[in-house]
Amino acid sequence: MRESHSTAEARPYHHGDLRRGLIEAARRLLESEGPTALSLRAVAREAGVSPAAPYHHFKDKGELLDAVAQEGWQKLDEALARAKAEAPSIREAMTGLGVAYVCFARDNPALYRVMYDTARDKEALPETMQNGEDSAYCKVRNTLVEAGADPTAATDLELATVAAWCAAHGLAEMRGFKQFDHLKDAVGGENNFLRAVFNHMGLFPSPQREC
Amino acid sequence: MRESHSTAEARPYHHGDLRRGLIEAARRLLESEGPTALSLRAVAREAGVSPAAPYHHFKDKGELLDAVAQEGWQKLDEALARAKAEAPSIREAMTGLGVAYVCFARDNPALYRVMYDTARDKEALPETMQNGEDSAYCKVRNTLVEAGADPTAATDLELATVAAWCAAHGLAEMRGFKQFDHLKDAVGGENNFLRAVFNHMGLFPSPQREC
DNA sequence: AAGATATCTTTACGGCGTCCAGATCGAGAT
DNA sequence: ATCTCGATCTGGACGCCGTAAAGATATCTT
């Protein structure tokens, strides 16, 4: 009757790691049905368990969403790391990060929404975002320094990092609006559009900007 | 039994303009209970009417939210107009607009959320935002021109306007996160924080930036 | 082997969005 | 003034939701 712990290698409990199964079911539903269709019951259904089963692994629906969001931040982090590694030059590194950020939001719209929804009602970004040496936030800050920002002006550097993050998030949320379709055409596609907008936002520290 | 069309002057139907009453009930609930607590039934309850009554004035819950959002955009528009009128100098006009925008989002958090939620699932900002000569979007664009942007470089001007809007929206959504509290302190309060971040985002057209 | 514990199911409750059948009321026609 | 009609509201119903409590079942410990 019970499937033999299909995918996962470790099976700590008598069902095969349901916690993991629920998170993956949620992710599956999220991207296929959109964020509004994601109900706890639907997740349980998708995972093949009863509607009450999730409560043995998560305090409530919010806690499941937290777990999903956390994996989202990890994925975003990886996307930024990839973008930074692939940047052809320091001059283009910041814009590259910005574009990668927006593309992540475009390609994972429901996940991105969940990430910020949960952050907003905790009124805090996840700790993993700023803590580690190679957290996403630090990656942006480091890139700014490499691009010429003064690393000794701590407050100013933080402000610049926040500014870059806000710019990326703002553009990520605006990018989908029909109003900007003609602009995208005018500059030759969405990618150019993103770069053009970022260029207007001075992501680079001042000494780097052409004068 | 029936109250005599209390506030409204016109009473098109045999109840005193329920459509209006529902929108205002929704706004009341929105700011007092938060956006998640806003259910159609609760709005009907608050308006003193049965749960099914709203369906004679709105196709569904989304349409009621649309109406609420539209009034929100109007309020935002007014806030920006006020900020622009009060700007002490052209040099400070753009930052003033940005700060006013973020303050609107801070002071009407639930309304602001509804505004962007409905915009997002229509994949378009409301038409009133960009159409009229004195629409919010045009106000930003005009301010950019007054600040020195080249009005004949149409595409570039649009891009700059979009950039400014994204910057403001991004900061509006980030501003509440605990992570930035120490930064606010470091620069002497939230208002300085907002201005500082905006300064890092090059809201002014390039010729205006100090080089 | 046996008891303790964690996991899952069943059942239930109240709230939600929405629809439908009727009641009620306002207004135009006669 | 009455009648009729359509717009407006009510009451009840349906299926979904999040969540809690109690019972069943499988695993772990000893």
Q: Is residue B36 located within the same domain as residue B121?
A: no
* C-alpha to C-alpha distance for B95 and B111, rounded to whole angstroms: 23
Confidence of residue B14 (pLDDT cuts 50, 70, 90): low
Closest-approach nucleotide to residue B11, Cα vs C1'? C26
Q: Is residue A179 located within the same domain as residue A124?
A: yes
Q: Is residue A98 located within the same domain as residue A140?
A: yes
Q: Is residue A75 located within the same domain as residue A52?
A: no
In chain B, residues 146-185 whose CB comes closer than 8 Å to chain A: 155, 158-160, 162-171, 173-174, 176-180, 183
DSSP notation for A75-120: HHHHHHHHHHHH-SSHHHHHHHHHHHHHHHHHHSHHHHHHHHHHHH
Classify residue B173: in a domain, yes or no.
yes
Question: How do residues A143-158 score in pLDDT, each as one tens digit?
Answer: 999 999 999 999 999 9
Confidence at residue A202, expressed as pLDDT on a 0 to 100 scale: 80
Confidence at residue A4, expressed as pLDDT on a 0 to 100 scale: 37
Is pLDDT above 80 for B92?
yes
The residue-averaged pLDDT of A180-190 equals 97
Q: 3-state class of B105 per DSSP?
A: helix
Domain final residue, candidates A59, A79, A104: A59
Confidence at residue B15, expressed as pLDDT on a 0 to 100 scale: 67
Confidence at residue A8, expressed as pLDDT on a 0 to 100 scale: 36
CA-nearest residue to A159 within chain B is: B197
Give the CA-to-C1' distance from A50 to D17 in angstroms. Answer: 14
Q: Is residue B98 located within the same domain as residue B160?
A: yes
Contacts of A197 in chain B (CB under 8 A): 159, 162-163, 166
CB atoms near residue A49 (< 10 Å): 17
Question: How do residues A47-82 score in pLDDT, each as one tens digit?
Answer: 999 999 999 999 999 999 999 999 999 999 999 999
CB atoms near residue B142 (< 10 Å): 18
* C-alpha to C-alpha distance for A124 and A185, rounded to whole angstroms: 37
Confidence of residue B16 (pLDDT cuts 50, 70, 90): confident
Structural domain boundaries enclosing A182? 69-199
Q: Is residue A138 located within the same domain as residue A164?
A: yes
**B38 CA to chain A: closest CA distance, Å?**
15
Q: Is residue B80 located within the same domain as residue B38?
A: no
Q: Is residue A114 located within the same domain as residue A191?
A: yes
Percent of chain B at pLDDT exceeding 90: 82
Is pLDDT above 90 for B207?
no
Is pLDDT above 90 for B143?
yes
Q: Is residue B80 located within the same domain as residue B183?
A: yes
Question: How do residues B179-205 score in pLDDT, each as one tens digit?
Answer: 999 999 999 999 999 999 999 997 766
Confidence at residue A134, expressed as pLDDT on a 0 to 100 scale: 82
Classify residue B30: in a domain, yes or no.
yes
**A172 CA to chain B: closest CA distance, Å?**
8
Classify residue A146: in a domain, yes or no.
yes
Give the CA-to-C1' distance from B190 to D4 in angstroms. Answer: 65
The residue-averaged pLDDT of B171-177 equals 98
Confidence at residue B205, expressed as pLDDT on a 0 to 100 scale: 65
Confidence at residue B132, expressed as pLDDT on a 0 to 100 scale: 78
Percent of chain A at pLDDT exceeding 70: 89
Of B117, B116, B210, B207, nearest to B166 (Cα)? Answer: B116
The residue-averaged pLDDT of A100-127 equals 97
Map tokens 């019951």 to a residue: A41
Classify residue B166: in a domain, yes or no.
yes
Is pLDDT above 70 for B159?
yes
* C-alpha to C-alpha distance for A131 and A122, rounded to whole angstroms: 17
Of B20, B108, B33, nearest to B72 (Cα)? Answer: B108
The residue-averaged pLDDT of B57-84 equals 97
Map tokens 């622009």 to a residue: B84
Which one of B103-107, B124-128, B207-211 scores highest in mean pLDDT? Answer: B103-107
Classify residue A64: in a domain, yes or no.
no
Sign of the C-alpha dihedral computed for residues A63, A65, A71 and A76 taken in this order? negative
Flag if B173 and A173 touch (Cβ within 8 Å).
yes
How many structural domains comprise chain A?
Answer: 2
Classify residue B64: in a domain, yes or no.
no
State the average pLDDT for chain B: 89
Percent of chain A at pLDDT exceeding 90: 83
CB atoms near residue A102 (< 10 Å): 27
Confidence at residue A205, expressed as pLDDT on a 0 to 100 scale: 65
* C-alpha to C-alpha distance for B79 and A107, rounded to whole angstroms: 34
The whole-model pTM stands at 0.91
Q: Are A26 and A43 in contact (CB under 8 A)?
A: yes
Confidence at residue B9, expressed as pLDDT on a 0 to 100 scale: 35
Is pLDDT above 80 for B155?
yes
Q: Is residue B45 located within the same domain as residue B102?
A: no
- Ranges A33-37, A166-170, A189-193, B3-7: which has the least confidence: B3-7
Domain final residue, candidates B14, B38, B59: B59
Confidence at residue B202, expressed as pLDDT on a 0 to 100 scale: 79
CATH of the domain at A40: 1.10.10
Q: Are B69 and B52 in contact (CB under 8 A)?
A: no
Classify residue A211: in a domain, yes or no.
no
Closest-approach nucleotide to residue B18, Cα vs C1'? D8
Confidence at residue B206, expressed as pLDDT on a 0 to 100 scale: 52
Q: Is residue A50 located within the same domain as residue A107?
A: no
Flag if A125 and B179 touch (Cβ within 8 Å).
yes
Is pLDDT above 60 for A198?
yes
Contacts of B148 in chain A (CB under 8 A): none
Of B193, B181, B173, nearest to A168 (Cα)? Answer: B173
Q: Is residue A180 located within the same domain as residue A79?
A: yes
CATH of the domain at A76: 1.10.357
